[in-house]
Amino acid sequence: MTAHNAIIQELEDALAHGSAERRNKTLRRVTDLFIFGSTHFSKEHVTVFDNVFNHLIADIESSARVTLAQRLATVANAPPDVIRTLAFDDEIEVAGPVLTRSEQLDNVTLVENAKTKSQQHLLAISHRRTLAETVTDVLVERGNRDVALSAVQNAGAKFSEAGYVRLVRRSEGDDEMAHAVGARPEIPRPLFVKLLTSASNAVRVALEATHPGHAREVRKAVAEVAGAIQANTASRDYATAQVVVESMQAAGRLTESDVERFARAGKFEETAVALAILCGLPVDTIERALVQEGAEAILIIAKSIGLSWATAKAILLLTGEKREMPEYILEQSRTVFTKLRRETAIQVVQFQQKRQTAKLSGG
């Protein structure tokens, strides 16, 4: 047994019938001992301290637990069991420091905590230096506005597509949230466009400065009604897709199976460009149809091209938000698609083509 272990053993033995004051004093002594030598301790040493800490904090007052949490929160090799105990403490003054700063809390533990503890616990988690998608998924879904906004404003946080879908929904009518969500550089383009459709003019102007690459579409959104977002078809996002899809068209190889394959693979830009080529409408018109709430526009476009329901369904489920479309809505869409005559769909598309031609000619 090492000298450190012997000292800890003696302290633990002395606690068998000790008073609360004596326990607190002993806790401070053990904490000092651990922090002083933490960088040199082996896993076996840390395990011994873990056992002693958990024994000591079983019946101490909250102020002593707060002090312990604050002191151990930044220790890289802090005893993991006691860190977990502190993280799940009902008192946020105890749990907060370790939830925000301790490196000993893995993502599984953070998710468990976020699913079961208070909004204050979730807020503390949202301030961590980095946040994985599995953690932010819970913060965005279960957290209140303060939690969601804090997570979005955390530069070290990562969000899944499902997380961004929820954030865009939560941004409606909330300028601060909308700007924070839209300002994230990695937000998927379809959801960025979706965000613009419901954002205020002030938010759109602010996002134009934040996303210079999207300046054209944001300026157009400011000038037009909320739903009329002009996509920048010459942007980097579509440049590659246009080269690929147009080369397929030139070679006579652009078929329905390609459209379905693009859609099922989640390739938004390739799907939009392919539909635009096949129905003769601008890409920005297709993009608006893909991101808007209803399915009617996509059903008309698909029917005018002569696509099957299987392909139309894959297109409907292309964006993250629509992937959560209830089965009964899909069934209603299938019924509408089946009853829709192709001649009618073609007439609607031709009308849109004439409007585009008139707009370009200044008529």
- Percent of the chain surpassing pLDDT 90: 43
Q: Give the percent of the chain with pLDDT over 70.
A: 82
User: Which letter does DSSP use for residue 213 in this model?
Assistant: G
Q: Which residue has the higher pLDDT, 208 or 134?
A: 134
pLDDT surpassing 70 at residue 327? yes
Contact assessment for residue 317 and residue 334, using Cβ atoms and an 8 Å cutoff: no
Q: Say yes or no to pLDDT of 223 above 60.
A: no
User: What is the chain's Cα-based Rg?
Assistant: 29
What are the strands, taking DSSP E only, across the chain? none
pLDDT band for position 284 (50/70/90)?
A: confident
Give 4 or 298, the one with higher predicted confidence.
Answer: 298
Q: Is the pLDDT of residue 15 over 90?
A: no
Q: How far is CA 350 from the centre of its chain?
A: 39
pLDDT at 215: 61
Q: According to the model, what pLDDT value does residue 192 have?
A: 84
**Tell me, what's the pLDDT at 230?**
41
Q: Looking at residue 207, what is its pLDDT?
A: 80
pLDDT of residue 212: 66
Tell me: pLDDT of 126 over 70. Answer: yes
Answer yes or no: is pLDDT of 261 > 50. yes
Check residue 278 and give its pLDDT. Answer: 93
pTM of the predicted model over 0.75: no
Better pLDDT: 195 or 258 = 258
Q: Which residues are 131's β-sheet partners?
A: 157
Span of 47-61, 137-151, 246-260 with lowest mean pLDDT:
47-61
Question: Rounded CA gap, 249 and 263, in Å?
Answer: 17
Q: Is 281 helix (H, G, I), strand (E, B) or coil?
A: coil
Q: What is the pLDDT of residues 314-323, one digit of tens each?
A: 998 887 566 6
Q: Which amino acid is at 44?
A: E
Please identify which residue in the block is written with the tokens 């977002």.
229
CA distances from 96 to 86, 89, 260 (A): 9, 9, 48
**What would the mean pLDDT of 197-213 be, rounded to a whole number?**
74
Look-up of token digits 């991101």: 291
Confidence (pLDDT) at 194: 82
Q: In terms of residues, how long is the chain?
A: 363
